[in-house]
Structure 1
């Protein structure tokens, strides 16, 4: 496949791997004292395991899986509020498919659908807006979930609803941002990281400058990366090269897609519709200042929190504890590998998940399960 096979060329990959080995040896990386590189994006986590990159690189390089899966970082209280909305008889609740099986404290959206709630899986918020046009006697609520990648589409859908006067459409906004949790991780004295592989899709929207603080304030290199094997290997090499040369900079390996200053049309739409929340709860990280978005007053008519009195629009609730034995928070913040969780493959499987990381398409536990995690668990035992 043209423009894809070039980034999966085994000969080129062997060349990059040899260069990685040379730099890793030069800086003294060993399995006992590894270079710890956090890939922020859950899509990168899955690519690393799908292509076996963790097995190919120098043994002195350790991948740390970061909080880059928006479904995974969603606290259980938000799932409960989705179910609360969906169970209202006047509501048709619309969501992306990967949020359907995330467990709340009572049930998941899939279980709520089985119990009779009108819940629809859609591919975009525009699908939900079209449902609102076709069902004027129902309230259509779209679950606005995701990082900066998906936020522009919900913002533009709200703007379209406002232009067209579609008043039975609203967004339950749980959009979050990448830079704020990275700052929280870097401020954690127990989090030992040497560099970052930055998210490609998010950066396509926001550009590379929002990560400047990582290099300037914390002295850590970060390289925005694509999603093919050579993209990721090249990004690891770029991080190691910065470390070897004593540099800490923001570099863009994914320049064929990511512009330095992002997408101005998307940024303008988001700024018009949303504003930062004072704080937002993240699974495993707690409340983080200005890490989430809420709808501006001008668009409150399309804000499900204001319309139905749920979520942060009603009150700031205490953090919901994880189910007993669930280590999603520790895994998602890189403090634990999935197979170190006592429930992995036992009390928590894709069929019967305890936490979001096992069911999300970008979850670290799902990656370990799908691409060899079960074998890793058996080996550990």
Structure 2
């Protein structure tokens, strides 16, 4: 277990220099005049701000985490969201300023986007799920078959195997829990490998992190934001996070989601078998994400119990329960 007296070195973290003055200077470097009103928005991976502009609407400034994405990967995301917007899909691409969507100031890469408001969708409403399904179907139809050129592929390697290695290397798992950790992770990753080998999928360009915190509901329509995790993968990755409740409830929810989705795009029903596997991978990837980012002072503040025995005991119990769900029948939707 990592030394409990060790604290992240906030002075060494690259976001430490990202002060309000620097944010305003960066914004003004591309031609805007700030009015000194800055509101930091909820974002751990990057830093995102609502920035007041003199005599105009505020803009949203996104400052990218250094060394996470290459310039080609960021620009590919921008091109993707612009394609969606040009196809009358409510995504929010960055503003094009002097012919570019990606800018740099004092070592930080950033983009500026229009501000869009809204509330979280009511996913307990089946009609809302059908509307969401239809809009994601439109996104996938525009994206077409095939994946991104530069952005990664969703799969077991990154979200499972690499994630496990990152958790172990970080050293936060209590020594007395390591045997249980090794046994559980070896078993569930072997079953996940067999699952993803067994199910044939079509690969396309995805939102990648389509949970309802990344969807704003306004004027009875969904508006999709934060394509930072856009990657290639199977369509089900953009659909399963809308599901909740018991199996029968999830089956009914997915029926309505696909009723909307299939108005605009084909869906491979075999991908329904991947839902519980993807849920397991998200759980594994989440703890690896925290471990990799522990040097960022925002993470110990947001996840203060991460290096405790209780956290890891609960994680292993939850993952063991999820492992059991892999052997249960997948939800079924009939043509």
- The verdict on a shared fold, with TM-score over 0.5 as the criterion, is no
Q: TM-score, normalised by structure 2?
A: 0.25
Q: TM-score, normalised by structure 1?
A: 0.22
